Amino acid sequence: MPPRGHSSPRSRSDQRYAAAFLAPTLAILALVVFYPLATVLASSLRDANLLARAGGRFVGLGNFVRLLTLDEVFPTAVLNTVIFTASSVVGAFVVGFALALALSGRVPLRGFLRGIALIPWVIPGVIVALLTLYMFNGEVGIVNFTLRSLGLIRHFIPWFARERAALAALVVANVWNQTPFYFLMLLAGLQTQPEELVEAAKMDGAGVVLRFLNVTVPHLKGIIMIITALMVIWNFNNFDLIWATTQGGPVDATMTLSIYTYRQAFLSFQFGYSTAISVVWLLGLLAFSVFYIRVMEGSRRA
């Protein structure tokens, strides 16, 4: 970085090249990210309709007041979003970590098994959803048959007609879909784990569990924190799986912030109101990011 106030001909030329090199990227992002966001912020104060050309009446904080005091679906959507996100992240972390540990050692067919374990992550979201609909189908779905033959249920569960069952089915499908991401990243991390540390711990008589907690987990901490942050944000924003299966039903049982926003905009055409939901949603994401960055910086200093 050149010192401020002192601009040599070279740093001026650098400045010009940097501007020219960044211009196309910034122009495109301005059109498809920042302009839409600015519109969202502005429209949250209006009662705009999606299909009307005009921007609607200015209503001040009316949308927000309605959202936070009168709307009965909104708290459900927030709660469902949190439940969906938390259980998906925890589930995918546990299964992904177990797989990574198991497949980092010497196992027959290791390369082949690793390859297979990655497939769910690459399957397009819509196809994950179609597969979920089929496997959790109440009459012919394989999930019900398997659970019954294991003696875990006596009667078939109509997964997508019952409120709790629907959310649970979606979480299971989502965990399945995202496990490979944790698996892949943790496996890569495990491979960079210095052998000497593990050996030294072994010499000190540390068992599997102690070695895991005192050597492996600290080594992977950086990776775990980053991918958990990514996963929380992705799941918080999930649209594909829920929209392509339940669209928020039955009776709002799988209604999340993204589904609720989308329904308000594209089914009720209440553009202004949907942007107000978006603003609250974005504030939630922002709060999470700030909190998370604090935690990460704190843990690095410690």
Partner 1 sequence: MRRFDLDRRPAAKRALTGIVLALCLAFVFFPTFWMVSSSLKPNRDAFAVPPEWVPRRATVENYRSQLRDRGGFLTYAKNGFLVSIENAIVTVLVSIPAGYAFAHIPFRGKRAITVLIIASQMFPGVVIVISLFSLYRVLHLLDTYTGLVLAFTSFSLPFAVWMIRGFFETIPTEVDEAARVDGCNRLQILVRIGVPLVVPGLLAVGLFSFLNSWNNLIFALSLTTEQGMRTIPPGFLLTYVGEFQYKWGDMFAGSVLVTLPTVAIFIALQRFLVSGLVAGAVKG
Site residues (CB under 8 A) for partner 1, limited to 111-130: 113, 115-127, 129-130
Residue 58 as a binder of partner 1 (CB under 8 A): the answer is no
The stretch among 59-67, 68-76, 163-171, 221-229 that binds partner 1 (CB under 8 A) is 221-229
The stretch among 35-43, 64-72, 82-90, 157-165 that binds partner 1 (CB under 8 A) is 35-43
Give the integer Cα–Cα distance in Å for 175 and 98.
13
Write down the least CB distance from residue 245 to partner 1, Å. 8
Residue located via tokens 């009720």: 268
CB 137 within 8 A of CB 156: no
Residue 3 as a binder of partner 1 (CB under 8 A): the answer is no
- Amino acid residing at 192: T
Q: Which of residues 77-106 bind partner 1 (CB under 8 A)?
A: 95, 98-99, 102-103, 105
- Listed in sequence order, the DSSP H helices in the chain are 9-29, 35-43, 62-65, 73-104, 110-122, 125-135, 142-149, 163-191, 195-203, 208-211, 217-236, 240-245, 257-262, 271-301
Interface with partner 1 (CB under 8 A), residue from 68, 163, 289, 290? 289
CB 269 within 8 A of CB 49: yes
Structure tokens, 8 = 């040599």
Residue 292 as a binder of partner 1 (CB under 8 A): the answer is no
What letter does residue 3 receive in the DSSP assignment? P
Q: Count the site residues for partner 1 by CB under 8 A.
A: 99
Residue 194 as a binder of partner 1 (CB under 8 A): the answer is no
Interface with partner 1 (CB under 8 A), residue from 83, 86, 201, 285? 285
Residue 198 as a binder of partner 1 (CB under 8 A): the answer is no
